Structure 1
């Protein structure tokens, strides 16, 4: 932004440029990235592809084009990069461009070829001086042929017949078409231009799907000279009942090989959960990946495994995190240094997503070093000189690029940094607004304290009292972190005049695996009492908070907790509540969800468990009858007689994770009991509200609702609040994840 915002509002949040992860050149001198900006005046989005010079810190506009995405430098070619361009009728072109041309984008950019379908997740590896391997993701039909929904034949009926699970997933009905990886070669011709070869389906006939839907992308596979390593849901397991993902290797003699050879599967004994982040060791002869041990559990601790020989089904744990004194965190996003001597990853740690380096020491074995202290790292890129480039954000800064030294001599010093918001100042925010508190945990045997972020107004004055906005996170295995979000951003509420508190209650990630696991079978127990302790502590120790003007808001599991508060004493300590896409009843809500393994694990089993059937019931045989108690004792709909606090209910029609009937049921109860309440819905949104126009309406309705009960001025007039824009701009999958401001979908 070129002009400093006078006040941080929803309009500022939603119209500020959203910068992608940076893509550094091998020497770190140039950074490719895109920015997406939405205008509420023109009701349109614009996307810019830009190049940032790290020495001058000057950013050059390469092209303004909404259909451009995923720039990737071409190894060995000075200033040359490849990107994708969406064309008419679903076609995707692969463009060759330069970052320093003075002739102009149109004069120097050309298509090396195309694929006749929507495509994403571009990866490129150098094979020789004049050729490259190109891999991307696009859908295929059951026979393995390329699928394009825009050109596929239409049927005369809209009926869909299902004979097994899945029926729906996230916000789509499941179809016979699947994600798959396509490979080809990119070769330099005699005229100096590059041309694509024939696309080959790497997984044809294998019964595998990669990237793993709905949010899998480049983290689902990696490419080397020797082939492709990938993860896919286990085809022998029902994806609605199992999280199990396996690791596979497609060995290629060349990237023109057709058909592709059968994928080779690696097994990890005793690990029955999901595998992610497969990464080749430099040279392509070894690989590492992450795997979870627990079946049906998405928030188990990730373990790092090494494949020393890609032709043998033998893996070993690279780093034993369960060992005494070891890292009690869950690694994400594995990346090797260029020399292969260091493995980098990020991990949630006490409210931050920190960057770690794992090296092998001849004397001490594997050595782990933290490289960052604060903020949240979202993308990691090693540079050829040994330095490390990464993208991150904080609670006040939406995007920061950094280069740090990684040797002990450098002491992880930051050598270069670039903030898109000047550390929040261009948005009217400052780091001094953010602090944290620690309050007693309900179960001190697991964790002694609960950490909460505290976000004060930028205009905060000592001696003045401010209403409280308590934000409850989703998951439930999730956490509030020192990171930016365009959905639940604490700054929006702070700048209205609230002191915002975001507690990381029992079940939160990044505070030890035992704390994360402790919420199992106890959704309404320990987390609820943690919130009681937070409120008691704030009332006693923060005189600047007006506890008589407190409001509470939550989404997904946070929405469940809002409904739980309604039925219990803590609910009476709030003037108003907001429940977004929350759970009203377990039988109706959780049994209608798409990923059934989630409630079956979190509540210890199924609500129909019977010891008589345990030997023959494969879904339930690992569980005991205490799961029945968990389903009953944690159900918000069992406490409807206590509901009394005014509540806004928001629920979207395309939320297939928690169906809209959950929101309607809650609103119906509130209305029937004569409790002041409102219901907001968006027919074209899923579990999240992502379209800018819809998001603005969401913020207007929410702020007007809580401000009324907290004694603050209305955010906008009734006529403005009631405006609803359901046309919107269709976003790509990558943009939706980025807009959501989080890495993992919450429940």
Structure 2
């Protein structure tokens, strides 16, 4: 980390090194990681793979090739990398930790692959799995060598036509399996086989599926895939499939044959199944599944295959009579303990991403998972050989933290071993490394973060909100309000790092940032999340109105007469909804990023199951429900200055939504601006585009609340710096 900033600005955030989750060796003494840094002076990105020696806290360069990725340990002394070539192929290379300049090419894969997984079978044999696109005949697709079509036309006879940010073509994701063997000290990778060839199945599932969609063990592999008999635009149902054999990885030159994947049936669960993972000994497996088809934010519930020799023997852990599950949290990932007896679950809880411990036992009233680490936002958990946990996480003020959770003392009355002195659902980690020195490199600190609650619109609910203050906060002064509304709507503001919507960037401009989690938000129980259905402009809007009133009455350091509102996706919908309703008159300015203007525009989206579920039917069957929460019905009230942002490659909420909102504002004579990016999707990801996004947004809102425009302040600072150097 070479950046030390007196003030946290968009340039500082976007040019700061971005470090991946850490990859520890077996005892956690050495940590592999990838890191990328963007330079606005050189307009280029630098990528490195490095290794941290935990004891000395020194890092060493493994490679600075921008083509290298997926660092993986082979034992404790060898490192494997995937390296792209100019011809679109992938080289598999192996090197020793003590000789980072010497790499052996141990395999050549004829196309681009990723999501690498390796499982040691014996001392000299490793199972090898990657994902990559397959052509219709099952061969690995290489876009650099593919024959170019003579026409740009595409004919579709079913949905999807396009998905997220690309038009769907005939190639599909597949899992490629092989065997890595070591003979006379040299590694060699066998030819890879398409494990899904001829099945009609696709894994990982687009657009965001990755290594969490499949796993390998000493006896086979397990994965999730969309149900091939259902239209993917209308259904969320995915199935778990299992392929196993006692000699799965055997063969003279690689895998002899791959058994046809077997579908795992789960009675009563028709939604998405994800996160399949084997126990370390390969004798058990676990996965997550949702009950309701068409609802992508249903609760994940835990299922266990207690004996992989009989994969259709599936146990619903933490079951309840009503089918909703005994544990009112929705885990996102499963990590087995090294002894294969228990597991850890990562799940959101009250605006944080936390870690829970769980041991399945067949008894009438099983113990619920126990919180053992309260986030922040935990992004990755790796058990070490002695059972301790290596944790990668972030927070509002720290973009990358590595820590160790010792696991060696038993909590009375619970089956799990936990750190000394722990008697409740919180614990202390051992610090390993912070990319930003706990935010200090950015001039940020934990004292800037606070939390508030207010009574919600629905009886008995309380709305939780994060408060982020400037580093120069003075309780005796008043600051303008930046009211940030999250997307989803089944989502939440969690105490984690973001380079797209970072509350600290707004706070350091001089705002009190309040980021509420209204009705529909995740991490507060499934009933609270489900309550958004049929209520898009109802309960959440009322929660936000009540919050604005509560802030005005209770936070003396917030000047709600100088308030701005900002939101993206559903948050953008809410900005458009607020613009047409009384709360809109409370703001000096609004910002909508990729928001909904007209509900009927949702019919141009790709995943139609989403509006059909949330609104309560199709446009044809429920036209009144679609019209009820349509922001375009209230454009006669639009009068607050409004910045609209929408990008060309956003196929989830199409470009027409942003243009329609901007044109409405312009024809009404409302002060407004429109920012668009032809090469961005639902998110703005390219550093130069992101910097422009921040410049435009901050200039827009600052100009309405009496703060200096961001670009003017930056220009003044640069001129002062030049003068001081003369």
TM over 0.5: yes
- Separation in structure 2 between the aligned mates of residue 671 and residue 662 of structure 1, nearest angstrom: 14
- Separation in structure 2 between the aligned mates of residue 59 and residue 560 of structure 1, nearest angstrom: 45
Q: Deviations over 1:33-78 (max 9, x none)?
A: 011100001111111111111222222222212111111111xx33
Instruction: State the shift of 1:462 in Å.
Output: 2.3
1:685 aligned to 2:680? Answer: yes
Q: Is the 8 A contact 1:480 1:502 kept in 2?
A: yes
1:235 to 204, 220, 228: 228
1:265 to 258, 263, 266: 263
Match of residue 331 from structure 1: 331
Instruction: State the shift of 1:443 in Å.
Output: 0.2
1:576 to 589, 594, 615: 589
1:645 to 640, 643, 655: 640
- Separation in structure 2 between the aligned mates of residue 532 and residue 295 of structure 1, nearest angstrom: 33
Q: Which moved more, 1:497-506 or 1:85-94?
A: 85-94
1:506 aligned to 2:519? Answer: yes
2:479 to 466, 469, 473: 466
- The 3 A distance-change label for structure 1 pair 312 and 398 is closer
Match of residue 291 from structure 1: 289
Q: Deviations over 1:692-713 (max 9, x none)?
A: 0000000000000001111111
Instruction: State the shift of 1:361 in Å.
Output: 6.1
Match of residue 130 from structure 1: 124
- Separation in structure 2 between the aligned mates of residue 263 and residue 422 of structure 1, nearest angstrom: 47
Q: Deviations over 1:275-315 (max 9, x none)?
A: 00001122212211000001111111111001123334231
1:213 aligned to 2:202? Answer: no
1:676 aligned to 2:671? Answer: yes
Match of residue 663 from structure 1: 658
- Separation in structure 1 between the aligned mates of residue 324 and residue 520 of structure 2, nearest angstrom: 22
Match of residue 26 from structure 1: 26
Match of residue 304 from structure 1: 302
- Separation in structure 1 between the aligned mates of residue 618 and residue 588 of structure 2, nearest angstrom: 36
1:330-369 maps to which residues of 2 (within 5 A)? Answer: 330-360=330-360, 365-366=366-367, 368-369=369-370
Instruction: State the shift of 1:98 in Å.
Output: 2.3
Match of residue 533 from structure 1: 546
- Separation in structure 2 between the aligned mates of residue 159 and residue 362 of structure 1, nearest angstrom: 57
Match of residue 146 from structure 2: 152
Instruction: State the shift of 1:325 in Å.
Output: 10
The 3-state SS of whatever aligns with 1:533 is helix
Match of residue 617 from structure 1: none
The 3-state SS of whatever aligns with 2:711 is coil
- Separation in structure 1 between the aligned mates of residue 614 and residue 266 of structure 2, nearest angstrom: 24
1:386 aligned to 2:387? Answer: yes
CA RMSD, aligned part only?
A: 1.8
- Separation in structure 2 between the aligned mates of residue 240 and residue 645 of structure 1, nearest angstrom: 36
- Separation in structure 1 between the aligned mates of residue 368 and residue 14 of structure 2, nearest angstrom: 42
Match of residue 245 from structure 1: 238
Instruction: State the shift of 1:188 in Å.
Output: 1.2
- Separation in structure 2 between the aligned mates of residue 430 and residue 301 of structure 1, nearest angstrom: 34
Match of residue 68 from structure 2: 68
- Separation in structure 2 between the aligned mates of residue 630 and residue 349 of structure 1, nearest angstrom: 31
Q: Deviations over 1:359-415 (max 9, x none)?
A: 246988445221112311111111110111111111111111111123444235423
- Separation in structure 2 between the aligned mates of residue 470 and residue 399 of structure 1, nearest angstrom: 26
Q: Is the 8 A contact 1:522 1:630 kept in 2?
A: no
The 3-state SS of whatever aligns with 2:475 is coil
Q: Is the 8 A contact 2:405 2:429 kept in 1?
A: yes
Match of residue 720 from structure 2: none
- Separation in structure 1 between the aligned mates of residue 220 and residue 324 of structure 2, nearest angstrom: 37
Match of residue 449 from structure 2: 434
- Separation in structure 2 between the aligned mates of residue 413 and residue 659 of structure 1, nearest angstrom: 45
- Separation in structure 2 between the aligned mates of residue 651 and residue 312 of structure 1, nearest angstrom: 47
Q: Is the 8 A contact 2:318 2:366 kept in 1?
A: no
- Separation in structure 2 between the aligned mates of residue 662 and residue 97 of structure 1, nearest angstrom: 51
The 3-state SS of whatever aligns with 2:199 is coil
Instruction: State the shift of 1:628 in Å.
Output: 3.5
Instruction: State the shift of 1:499 in Å.
Output: 0.5
Match of residue 416 from structure 2: none
1:348-747 maps to which residues of 2 (within 5 A)? Answer: 348-360=348-360, 365-366=366-367, 368-409=369-410, 410=419, 411=422, 412-445=427-460, 447=461, 449-588=462-601, 590-609=602-621, 627-717=622-712
Instruction: State the shift of 1:332 in Å.
Output: 1.2
The 3-state SS of whatever aligns with 2:691 is helix
Q: Is the 8 A contact 1:94 1:113 kept in 2?
A: yes
- The 3 A distance-change label for structure 1 pair 323 and 632 is closer
The 3-state SS of whatever aligns with 2:662 is helix
- Separation in structure 2 between the aligned mates of residue 300 and residue 24 of structure 1, nearest angstrom: 33
- Structure 1 residues without counterparts, runs of 5 or longer: 610-626, 722-747
- Separation in structure 1 between the aligned mates of residue 271 and residue 497 of structure 2, nearest angstrom: 29
Q: Is the 8 A contact 1:86 1:92 kept in 2?
A: yes
1:196 to 179, 189, 201: 189
- Separation in structure 2 between the aligned mates of residue 603 and residue 61 of structure 1, nearest angstrom: 52
Q: Is the 8 A contact 1:33 1:49 kept in 2?
A: yes
- Separation in structure 1 between the aligned mates of residue 95 and residue 20 of structure 2, nearest angstrom: 19
- Separation in structure 1 between the aligned mates of residue 283 and residue 76 of structure 2, nearest angstrom: 27
- The 3 A distance-change label for structure 1 pair 176 and 362 is closer
Q: Is the 8 A contact 1:232 1:247 kept in 2?
A: yes
- Structure 2 residues without counterparts, runs of 5 or longer: 411-418, 717-726
- The 3 A distance-change label for structure 1 pair 604 and 160 is same
Instruction: State the shift of 1:271 in Å.
Output: 0.6
Q: Is the 8 A contact 2:615 2:625 kept in 1?
A: yes
Under a length normalisation based on structure 2, what TM-score does the superposition of the two structures give? Answer: 0.93
Number of equivalenced pairs: 694
Q: Deviations over 1:625-673 (max 9, x none)?
A: xx43321110001111010001000000000000000000000000000
Q: Deviations over 1:241-262 (max 9, x none)?
A: 0100100012243333344221
The 3-state SS of whatever aligns with 2:665 is helix
- Separation in structure 2 between the aligned mates of residue 486 and residue 89 of structure 1, nearest angstrom: 32
Q: Is the 8 A contact 1:381 1:388 kept in 2?
A: yes
The 3-state SS of whatever aligns with 1:313 is coil
Match of residue 724 from structure 2: none
- Separation in structure 2 between the aligned mates of residue 423 and residue 664 of structure 1, nearest angstrom: 41
- Separation in structure 2 between the aligned mates of residue 144 and residue 258 of structure 1, nearest angstrom: 17
Q: Deviations over 1:593-647 (max 9, x none)?
A: 00000000111111211xxxxxxxxxxxxxxxxx433211100011110100010
- Separation in structure 1 between the aligned mates of residue 573 and residue 590 of structure 2, nearest angstrom: 12
- Separation in structure 2 between the aligned mates of residue 259 and residue 385 of structure 1, nearest angstrom: 35
- Separation in structure 2 between the aligned mates of residue 36 and residue 570 of structure 1, nearest angstrom: 42
Instruction: State the shift of 1:548 in Å.
Output: 1.4
- Separation in structure 2 between the aligned mates of residue 325 and residue 601 of structure 1, nearest angstrom: 21
Q: Deviations over 1:95-143 (max 9, x none)?
A: 1122233xxx33x212111211111000011122211110000110111
Under a length normalisation based on structure 1, what TM-score does the superposition of the two structures give? Answer: 0.91
- Separation in structure 2 between the aligned mates of residue 720 and residue 333 of structure 1, nearest angstrom: 46
Instruction: State the shift of 1:85 in Å.
Output: 1.1
- Separation in structure 2 between the aligned mates of residue 14 and residue 282 of structure 1, nearest angstrom: 38
Match of residue 282 from structure 1: 280
- The 3 A distance-change label for structure 1 pair 633 and 39 is same
